[in-house]
Amino acid sequence: MGKFLEFTRKLSNTVRSRRRVVITGIGIVSPLGCGVETAWKSLLAGKSGVVKLEGAEYEKLPCKIGAIVPKGNKFGELNLEGIFSKSELRTMCPATAYALVAADEALNDANWHPINENDKRDTGVAVGVGMIDLVDVCTMYETFKKSYSKVSPYFVPRILPNMAAGQISIKYGFRGPNHCVSTACATGAHSIGDAFRFVRGGETNVMLCGGAESCISPLAIAAFCRLRALSTSRNEFPHEASRPFDKSRDGFVMGEGSSILVIEELNHALERNAKIYGEILGYGLSGDAAHLTAPSEDGSGAFLAMDRALKDADCDITNITFVNAHATSTPIGDTIELRAIETLFGEHTRNIFVSSTKGAHGHLLGAAGNLEAAFTILAIKNGILPPTINLHDLDVVSQLNFVPNAPKEWQSTERRIALKNAFGFGGTNACLCLAEYRE
């Protein structure tokens, strides 16, 4: 107990000012493949992870497609039964399993395997889930109708949004902040942003952060169809269905997966000679205060989130050259976001590149912002702008520079700095300001 109190006092005495926060590890489970290398190469190659959904129940629905994590034993595929025991899988929903797999890759990538208690107490987890698996609820209710005694004692842990964070914390013994955000499609970005603030403010030195989602089912697809949110016009050509900014877009494609980042205080990373992908400079949040599912028409919510991220980063608009947009491929949302970007950057708009990687992997809901943040960080590290696939007929007149169908070299004589947007139902918005690491 004495050592714990000493450690706590030492952490409390840490200067809680604006410490620098860097990204040192990435893990990815996605429709484009599992593993950072596989997913990144697939993205740059213009591949699509959208497929036709199998099962008779999907045939009666307007949308019959989804972006599924590839299952199997081949390179880039995922076999949960080969990673977890049957008893372990009974205790967790698929989203939690995805988060655990991504967290393992991120920790190995960061070479962060704390053994002593101080390091474990100095490592936290901030991982959220946007939406529970409705299949779990429906199946267990049918079981309950047969017999109370057949209700699984693991039912509640399977449906709690914070269990991905809890399972990661328990597996590795991390006793830092154990945090969960559940803000619909902004979940992943909010999780990274909150974790960033924990590290920058001195609450802890290392955080695992991100989001996970696995809720594709006939009921979930039907529910989003009733909202008229999903693409329904390309069921026979699923790889063409997700088409952000394109004139013929007609809705998003639901996806699943997880991405986890390891972020840490700069000096902590340097002292252990960690590989550094990039730096988080700022984080902005806002509310639309307009509608349950639609963004404010004037784009004020998106504008405020981006503006606040820049102010938090103490970064001028002229320093930004890339925006990884939230753009889900909906007719209304994409247009409003572009309007907000143009309003924010003004005359600098002509120097801004914009892309949405959702064309390739669909919309991962609560795992969207974090997967796309990972791709933004890889773009910064490698100097490559990822493409928006299926963009053939831009439906707006804009000075913005788009990246249709093929990657572009990120030419910059200055530091590469980007914004990553994420917006969710209920009018919740997040924006991360991410940058190339410079000493």
Please provide the distance, in angstroms rounded to a whole number, between the alpha carbons at the two ends of the chain: 38
Contact 370, 376 (CB under 8 A): no
Tell me which of 179, 363, 431, 433 is the catalytic residue. Answer: 363
Our answer to whether residue 392 is catalytic in this structure is no
Contact 363, 185 (CB under 8 A): yes
Q: Cα 124 to the chain's mean position, in Å?
A: 18
Strands (E), 16-119: 21-30, 33-34, 50-52, 65-67
User: What values do phi and psi take at 266, rounded to 5?
Assistant: -55, -50
Regarding beta strands 206-213 and 123-129, do their DSSP bridges make them parallel or antiparallel, or are they unpaired?
parallel
Helices (H) and strands (E) in the chain, counts: 17, 16
Q: How far apart are CA 257 and CA 226, in angstroms?
A: 23
Residues paired with 323 in a beta bridge:
354, 419
Our answer to whether residue 239 is catalytic in this structure is no
CB-based contacts of 257: which residues, under 8 Å, 6+ apart?
28, 29, 30, 31, 69, 98, 212, 213, 214, 361, 364, 367, 371
What's the residue count for the chain?
Answer: 439
Tell me which of 190, 326, 361, 433 is the catalytic residue. Answer: 326
Take residue 7 and report the two structure tokens written for it.
């450690």
Tell me which of 63, 93, 185, 215 is the catalytic residue. Answer: 185
The DSSP string of 129-188 is ESS--HHHHHHHHHHHHH-GGGS-TTHHHHH-TTHHHHHHHHHHT--S-EE----GGGHH
Q: How far apart are CA 281 and CA 315, in angstroms?
A: 8
Our answer to whether residue 225 is catalytic in this structure is no
Q: Which residues are catalytic?
A: 185, 326, 363
